[in-house]
Amino acid sequence: MKVFNKISSFAGKYFALVIIVFSIVAFMVPSLFSSFGAYITILLGIVMFGMGLTLKASDFKLVFTNPIPVLIGVVAQFSIMPTIAFIIAYLLKLPAELAAGLVLLGCVPGGTSSNVMVYLAKGNVPLSITMTSVSTLLAPIMTPLLLFIFAGQWLPVDPMSMFMSIIQVIIIPIILGLLVNKFLPTVTEKSGSVLPLFSIVVITIIVSSIVANNKENIATAGMIVFVAVLLHNGFGLLLGYYAAKALRLSRQDQHAISIEVGMQNSGLGVALAATYFTPLAALPSAFASAWQVITGTFLASYWAKHKVPDDTNSTLEMQPHHKPLADAEEL
């Protein structure tokens, strides 16, 4: 088990590099990963089951004890990111598939890797975990609705069908994970050290399969997609921070909301794009899988080096024993 812990720690620390290396391999030898494209939805469901195993009722405590920061963060998540994606797609004149894919990336909930980044940044981890959990549970309604509003001009969107898909791929696996965690805690304890590594492997396979099946598209449109994702992620981090600051939240809350808003559940974006649009539409989410980990790590390192002053307005002090959901459950 110690070997798994070491491998998991190494993979979590260099997750962005792992994604980049395997993406390059997939681009050079697409036959290694192309066949996994048919199993993206199943793979993502397995990852979300793992997320459910790590959740507890206490992760939703802030919704009832101090809901204002949670409300601010979730509203920022579902307003800033789709709006920015729409503006970038329009200004860069992205092709229809890429435009819809970028907007889809902006409409999905936050990814749980953000919890790790907030922890490293010495931000408000309980707020981060609560935001991820709440935005994920709202995803069946908010993601199809926002996508219909912002992306309907580029590609047809079927909100009801997408609603059912998110229920099947996200909500049901999470609920199953919660039930296992509650009634079979020994299973959760034994799998705790394996889950982060397993999640990293699955996400790497998902991203690599998208790259493998889009080799020609990446060769022709890769740079514009990268620029779009870079701008989307950067503005998300920046505007999330200033939204929290403008509403006079604590410094720890500002850091948490910034990272939560800027880091999306790109795995869900890939799965939905591949299912309802085209493989090309999945490229923005695939690119974001690596890029947002790089920027999140950089930002967390920067904030960690700058001591956060004592602030009595913080929603909840970050306790030393409070760990993030997982090292890299989902991007």
**Please, are residues 244 and 88 in contact by the beta-carbon 8 Å criterion?**
no
- What pLDDT, on the 0 to 100 scale, is given for residue 104? 94
- What pLDDT, on the 0 to 100 scale, is given for residue 316? 46
Query: What residue segments make up the domains of the chain, in order of their start?
Result: 2-305
Secondary structure letter of residue 50 according to DSSP: H
The model's pLDDT over 155-173, given as tens digits with 9 standing for 90+, comes to: 888 888 889 888 888 888 8
Cβ neighbours around 122 below 10 Å, total: 18
- What pLDDT, on the 0 to 100 scale, is given for residue 12? 63
**Please, are residues 78 and 135 in contact by the beta-carbon 8 Å criterion?**
yes
Helix (H, G, I), strand (E, B) or coil at 309: coil
- What pLDDT, on the 0 to 100 scale, is given for residue 302? 84
Secondary structure letter of residue 66 according to DSSP: S
Residues of the chain with pLDDT under 50: 310, 312-323, 326-330
Residues 6+ apart with CB under 8 A from 160: 144
- What pLDDT, on the 0 to 100 scale, is given for residue 277? 85
Q: What is the CATH number of domain 2-305?
A: 1.20.1530.20
First to last CA, the chain: 25
The model's pLDDT over 245-287, given as tens digits with 9 standing for 90+, comes to: 999 888 989 999 999 999 988 888 888 888 888 878 888 988 8
- What pLDDT, on the 0 to 100 scale, is given for residue 87? 96
